[in-house]
């Protein structure tokens, strides 16, 4: 990401807040606040709300206003217009599945940390050339998974990634063990039946298990402790 989090945040990068960034699809904005509270209570403060539903912007606004311990971001950002909308709604980071020069410049101009998506070495090199070192690797499993990221760690050690796409609790530790992976994105801690039943206690338990995946690398200092975790 090209700029640090706001000064009120205890870590310089969203990538360092927790080993897993929940990728959240909100169908009903009324679910946003209790869902975010469950994720934060489970140790996952960085929450990516995807712009895939009509409820997404309202969900971002509600989380930003009512869950102060959450670091809410917007995912599936694909146009400059969306950048302005979500920043006005209160997001603290931006995530795109891919990037163009126009989108990249809009994200950079927003003053909000951003994570552009890449799936090829050429895209990574192009971003490094533009001063961007932190990226989303998407779709992670389909684009080559851990073998791909391991292969590019040598020639491109300055790039850091948050792989997202097809990652679950079984494969996440393999990604987190790589030197160029800071965290992973996923939605396995948000099973559809739990969200539909508004079983926030179950989601909190699953979030805690996801947060524990990075225990060996992260230590005790996460967002709630006010420290930098990596």
Active site residues: 48, 136
Comparing C-alpha atoms, which of 163, 96, 149 is closest to residue 121?
149
> Alpha-carbon distance 179 to 153, whole Å?
7
> Alpha-carbon distance 6 to 11, whole Å?
9
For 6-67, the DSSP string reads PTTSSSS-GGGS-SEEEEE--S-GGGHHHHHHHHHHTT--EEEEETTSTTHHHHHHHHHHH-
Sign of CA dihedral 3, 89, 85, 76: positive
Comparing C-alpha atoms, which of 93, 96, 39 is closest to residue 71?
93
Host H or E run for residue 219: none
> Alpha-carbon distance 208 to 189, whole Å?
9
The answer to whether 3 and 62 have CB atoms below 8 angstroms apart is no
The answer to whether 213 and 186 have CB atoms below 8 angstroms apart is no
Backbone angles phi, psi at 138, to 5 degrees: -150, 140
């Amino acid at each position: 990401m090209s700029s640090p989090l706001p000064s009120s945040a205890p870590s310089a990068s969203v990538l360092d807040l927790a080993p897993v960034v929940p990728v959240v699809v909100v169908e009903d904005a009324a679910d946003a606040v209790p869902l975010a509270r469950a994720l934060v209570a489970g140790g996952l403060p960085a929450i990516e709300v995807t712009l895939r539903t009509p409820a997404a912007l309202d969900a971002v606004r509600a989380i930003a206003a009512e869950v102060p311990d959450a670091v809410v971001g917007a995912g599936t950002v694909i146009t400059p217009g969306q950048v302005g909308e979500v920043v006005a709604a209160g997001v603290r980071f931006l995530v795109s599945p891919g990037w163009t020069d126009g989108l990249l410049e809009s994200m950079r101009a927003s003053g909000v940390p951003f994570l552009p998506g890449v799936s090829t070495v050429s895209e990574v090199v192009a971003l490094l050339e533009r001063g961007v070192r932190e990226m989303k690797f998407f779709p992670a499993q389909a684009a080559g998974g851990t073998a791909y990221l391991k292969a590019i760690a040598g020639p491109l050690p300055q790039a850091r990634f948050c792989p997202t796409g097809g990652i679950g609790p079984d494969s996440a530790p393999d990604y987190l063990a790589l030197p160029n992976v800071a965290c992973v994105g996923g939605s396995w801690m948000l099973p559809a039946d739990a969200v539909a039943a508004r079983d926030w206690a179950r989601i909190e338990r699953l979030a805690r298990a996801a947060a524990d995946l990075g225990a060996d690398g992260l230590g005790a200092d996460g967002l709630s402790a006010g420290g930098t975790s990596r």
